[in-house]
Chains A and B, each alone.
Chain A
Amino acid sequence: MYNFDFEKPSTVADAVAALGQEDAQALGGGQTLIPTLKQRLASPSKLVSLKGIPEMVGICRGDDGALCIGGATPHVQVAAEAGDYPALAALASHIGDPAVRNRGTIGGSLANNDPAACYPAAALASGATIKTNSREIAADDYFQGMFTTALEEGEIITEVRFPVPEKANYQKFVQPASRFALTGVFVAKYADGVRVAVTGASEEGVFRWTEAEAALSSNFSADAVPSAPSADGMIGDIHGTPEYRAHLIAVLTKRAVAAAA
C-alpha cells in the first residue's frame, strides 16, 4: 500500500467536494479497493470514505413503492431489512462471507461493476434507478461493460431504487475459489413484463437476456426458457469455458423461474 490521505465527510456535499481534489478516490466498504491498494495496484493521493454519511445508509419505501437503499448501506443490512423484496435480501445474504457483508456496500458494488458481482444482476433485472449526487440513471443506461459504468469522475451513488416485482429469484452458481458468481441469473416478473439479467458470464459484464425475457413475459414458466444462448462473447477461464457459462445461463434461468413461481 502506498501512503494516502484519508477523509471521512459526513455529508454528500462534503464528499463531492473532497472527491473534486486531484487523484482522490471514493472508498465504500473497500472490499475491492483495499486489496487493490495492498497489492500496490492503485495509488490514490486521497481516499474519501463514504461510510460516515448518515443520509446514505438505510432502507425505505419510496412514494412510488420502490425499495430505496442508501448507497453506503452494507450487504448485511440489505439482507436483514429488505424483506419487502425477498429475492434481493437473499442475494445480499449470499455475497462473500460475514466480514465482506458487514463492510461491503451496495453503492460500492455497483460503482465497481465487477463482471461477476451479484448486485448488478439485481439492479439490471429490476430496472432499478441509480441515484447519484447529481442525477438519476436508469440501470439500462448505467452498466457499460466490465468494470465500466455511466458514473462520471467523482460522482457518488447516493441511493438505489428498486421497483418491487411481483415475483423474483436470483440463482448464483458459485466459482469454487472466489465464490463470486461463475454465472448468476436474476429473474424479476413485473406487471409489464419479465426482466432477466445475467452476471458472471459475459465479457461485457452484466447483461439482459432479452430472448428469455420475451419468452417468459408471455409464459412465466421454466418450460418457456429458451435453449442456451450463444457462447460467443462469454468468459472462458480456468473455472469454465464459454460454452459452460452459456449452458449455465439457461439452467439457472429455469431454476430462478421455478423458484420464483
Chain B
Amino acid sequence: MPKDHGIGAAQTRREDVRFLTGQGNYTDDINLKGQAYVHFLRSDVAHGKIAKLDTSAAAAMPGVVRIFTSADFEGVGGLPCGWQVTDKHGEPMQEPAHPIIASGKVRHVGEIVAAVVAESLPQARDAAEAIELDIEELPPVVDMKAALEAGSAKVHDDLTSNLCYDWGFVEENKGAVEEAFGKAAHVTTLELVNNRLIANPMEPRVAVGDYTRHSDESTLYTTSQNPHVIRLLMGAFVLGIPEHKLRVVAPDVGGGFGTKIFHYAEEAFCTFAAKACNRAVKWTSTRSEAFMSDAHGRDHVTTIQLALDENNNFTALRTDTLANMGAYLSTFAPSVPTWLHGTLMAGNYKTPLIYVNVKAVFTNTVPVDAYRGAGRPEATYQLERVIDKAARELGVDPIALRRQNFVTEFPYATPVAVEYDTGDYHGTMDALERMADFAGFEARRKESEAKGKLRGLGVNCYIEACGIAPSNLVGQLGARAGLYESATVRVNATGGLVVMTGSHSHGQGHETTFPQVIAEMIGIDESMVEIVHGDTSKVPMGMGTYGSRSLAVGGSAMVRAAEKIINKTKKIAAHLMEASEADIELKDGAFSVAGTDKSVAWGDVCLAAYVPHNYPLEDIEPGLEETAFYDPSNFTYPSGAYACEVEVDPETGKVTIERFAAADDFGNVVNPMIVEGQVHGGIAQGVGQALLEGCVYDENGQLLSASYMDYAMPRADDLPFYSVDHSSATPCTHNPLGVKGCGEAGAIGSPPSVVNAVVDALQSAGKNVTHIDMPLTPARVWAAMQ
C-alpha cells in the first residue's frame, strides 16, 4: 500500500491552497506606506554612445521625485560576476565593468539609461518621455563568429577583444584526443546551434526597496531564488551595506528557472534609491521589459566530433563551442558553458578521451546566464545528437550503440574531472523500453502513414551533475561563493517544529516535502512542521535554490539539524525515564526504553526542554533549537533515458508529439507526485526549446522575438500525455537522504529525443536530412525537406 505519510508519500502540496485561491504573497503584492515608483528609460539601440542625456525638463514634470543617471552611481560598485573562469593559457577571463545605469555607452537593447522615480507610475513614464536622450549608434556586435574576427567592433572598448575566455578542458588531454581521432575507424561530425531562450517565469521580476533612516537599515523585497546571495553581492560589492543593515526578502516567487538567481541592476537601484529618496521605491517589470532585461539562456554554436573504433566503441570526443555571454557577465554566466557543460560531456558513456573547447563571446545582446539545466542541456543535446547521427551513419540501432558504450561500474571517474557515485544506465533504459513500447512502433508508423503523416522515434540518455555543490571543489573551479546549504530546526515547547531553510521555494513544493522528511525522522504528522524560507532576517545564511539542489543539499542540512535535535531529545528522554541514553528509541513520535514498556511522548520531552524542572541542566542546555550547515562531498548524478514519438506533416512541416516516455533515476524520492510534476514541467520546457522557443536578434541587435506575439511558449495542447517512471533508482551514496534532485532533468533530457525523432521521421520517408536546428518550427522542417 502506498505510504500516505513521510518519505515516499504522494502528498498534495500544502502551498497550493494559497496559490490556487489567490492568497499568495508575491513581491508585487507588497506595497509600503509612501512608496514611490520607478520607470526605467531603456536603450532602444544595441550599441551606441550616449551623446546627450538631459533630464532637466523631465525633472520638472508633475510627481517626479528624482531622476537618476549614471552620474548618481559614481563611487557605487558595478554588478559583480560570481564566477571567474581561467582560460587555457592560465589567464583569467576578461571581465568588463557592469554598471547599474549605462555610463557613456549602451551595449544592448533594454539597458537602463536613466531611472525616473515619481509619485505614480504613469507620472514616471510621462517624465521618462520628456528626457532628452541622443544615442550615436555604433556598429552592433551580434553574430558570435563575426565578433571574434579581427577588426570587429568591440562591445567593451577597454577589453582587448570580444573574447571573454578561450577555455580548454582538459587541456592536457588535447594531444591524446587528437591522436585517438587519427586512429578512429569512424568519425561523426555534427554542427549545431543550441538556441537562445528566454525563461519567461509566470511572475515577472519585481523589486521594492525600503529604508529606515533612524536605524540606517535597508530592506529589499525581490523576486529571487536566493535572497542571501543577493544580500551578499549587493551589500558587499555594489552598495557597501553591511549584512546587519541589509535585509533581503524573497516572498512567494512565481517561477524562476534560473533567471531569478542573478543579481540585477533593478534590485540594486531600488535599494539605493530608497535610501537616496528616503522612501520606498518599487519596480514591477512589464512583460516587455522582461524580454529585454531578464538574463537569457543557452545560445551555443557547437561543432562536435565523435570517434569510434571498428567495434563501434566510443574512443574519443571533441567539441568546439562558441558561447554567447551577451553584453555583460551576468552573475554566474562564465560557469555555464564551462564547468556546468564541459564536465558533463562524458554523458552516460565510457568514452576515455574528451576535449572541450569553449570560446565565450561578448555581443550587444542581453546577458546570457543559467536557465533550467544550465550547461547540462547543451552538453546532453550535442552528445545525444552526435551519437544518433553516428548510429545512422553506421547503420546500427541507436539504443544498442548507447548500451554498448554505457558506464556500468561505479564509482566512475570520467575524463572530464567528475566522479559519478552511482547509476544504472541499463536499468533506466530497460524501464524506458517497458514504458515506450518500442515493439509497437512499426505498427504505429503504419497508422501514421495511412493518415499521410511521417512517424519518427527518437531516444536519448542524459546525465546531469546537480545538488550543486562541494564548496572546496567549486572554489577551485572559480566560484566566488560557497555552495553549502543551511537549516535551523526550532522545536516549540509543545512539540511543533519550524524549519528555517536556506533553500528557497519558487514552485518546488518545499513546504510540503521538507515536512515529510521531518515527519519520517520523528514519527509525527507533517502538520506539526512549518517551513520558513526566503527572508535573510529569519533564516541562517543559505545559498538558495538552483541546480536541482534543494533537497540534496538543503534537505541534507535540515536532516543534520534534525539529527542534532533528536540526539538532544534522546538525552532528555533518558533523564526523564531514568534510563541509559543508549537504550532510548524514537519511534512514532514517542521515546521508549529498549526492552521495557517505559515510554514518553515527543511533546512531553519537548516541554521538558522549555520547562526544565526535571532536566539534566548540568549536561545540556534547555531549549530545542539546532542549526546545521551541510556541504556535500560531491555533486549528485541523476540520469535517465527518454523516448519521443512524433508525427510530421510532410506538406507543412508541422511536428506533433504523439508519445513521450521518461525513465529517470533520481535516487530516493520523497514525494513522487511532486517529482512527476517536475518532470512534466521540465519536459514542457524541453519541448518548448525543441519545437517552439527561439530568441532572435536581427543584424542590428534588435530583439525580434520581443513579445508573446513572436516568442512561442509551449502550451498545453502542444504537449502529449507523458509516461514517466523513476523506479529504476540508485540512491546517492554521499548525502543522508540518498536523493539526487529532479528539477532540471526534464529540460535536460527531452530536446535531443524530440530532434532525433523528427530526423528519424524524415529519413523514414527517404529525406536526406541529418540535422535541423532548434526550434523545429514548421517552416524549418519544411525547408529541410525541400
Chain A residues within CB distance 8 Å of chain B: 1, 3, 39-40, 173, 176-178, 182, 237-241, 244, 247-248, 251
| Chain B residues, Cβ within 8 Å of A3 | 122
Query: A244 near B783 (CB under 8 angstroms)?
Result: yes
State how many angstroms separate the Cβ of A118 from the closest Cβ of chain B.
Answer: 16
B687-728 interface (Cβ within 8 A of A): 691-692, 694, 696, 704-705, 708-713
Shortest CB–CB separation between residue A185 and chain B, in angstroms?
12
Q: Is the CB of B782 within 8 A of A176?
A: no
Residues of A within 8 A of B783 (CB): 241, 244
Q: Which listed residue, A1, A39, A177, A247, touches B710 by the CB 8 Å rule?
A: A177
Asked if B777 contacts A176 (CB within 8 A), the reply is yes
Task: Give 16 pairs: A residue, B residue, CB < 8 Å, sorted on A.
Answer: A1-B122, A173-B652, A176-B691, A176-B712, A176-B778, A177-B708, A177-B709, A177-B711, A238-B694, A238-B704, A239-B777, A240-B777, A240-B778, A244-B778, A248-B652, A251-B651
Shortest Cβ distance from B777 into A: residue: A176
Residue of B122, B696, B712 with most partner-chain A CB within 10 A = B712
Q: A182-B778, A244-B779 are in contact. List 12 more A-B contacts (CB 8 A).
A: A173-B654, A176-B692, A176-B778, A177-B692, A177-B705, A178-B708, A178-B709, A178-B710, A238-B694, A238-B696, A239-B710, A248-B652
Contacts of A238 in B (CB 8 A): 694, 696, 704-705, 710
Please list the 8 inter-chain residue pairs (A to B) with the smallest Cβ-Cβ separation, ordered nearest first: A177-B712, A240-B779, A176-B712, A178-B709, A244-B779, A251-B651, A238-B696, A177-B710
Closest beta carbon of chain A to B782's beta carbon, Å? 6
B residues sitting closer than 8 Å to A (CB atoms) are 122, 125, 129, 288, 651-652, 654, 691-692, 694, 696, 704-705, 708-713, 777-779, 782-783
CB distance from B196 to the nearest CB of A (A): 12
* A251 pairs with B652, CB closer than 8 A: yes
Residues in A neighbouring B125, C-beta threshold 8 A: 40
Closest B residue to A248 by CB, please name it: B652
Chain B binding site: helix, strand, loop or mixed by DSSP?
Answer: loop
A40 to B779, CA, bound (A): 33
**Cα separation A238 to B711 with both chains bound (whole Å):** 10
| A residues in contact with B122, CB < 8 Å | 1, 3
Would B779 and A239 count as touching, CB distance under 8 A? yes
Instruction: Give the shortest distance, in Å, between A1 (CB) and chain B (any CB).
Output: 8
Distance of A251 Cα from B692 Cα, bound (Å): 22
A40–B126 alpha-carbon span in the complex (Å): 10
A244: B residues at CB distance < 8 A: 778-779, 782-783
Q: Find chain A residues with CB under 8 A from B777 CB.
A: 176, 239-240
Q: B1 CB to closest chain A CB, in angstroms?
A: 42
Q: Which of A1, A177, A178, A247 contacts B782 (CB 8 A)?
A: A247
Contact partners of A40 in chain B: CB under 8 A: 125, 129
Shortest beta-carbon distance from A97 to chain B in Å = 10
B651: which A residues are within 8 A, CB to CB? 251
Out of B129, B288, B711, which one reaches A39, CB within 8 Å? B288
Q: Which residue of B lies closest to A177 (CB)?
A: B712
List of A residues within 8 angstroms of B704 by Cβ: 237-238
Complex CA gap A238/B705 in Å reads 8
In the assembly, what is the distance between CA of A247 and CA of B704, in Å?
Answer: 24
- Bound: A240/B778 CA distance, A: 8
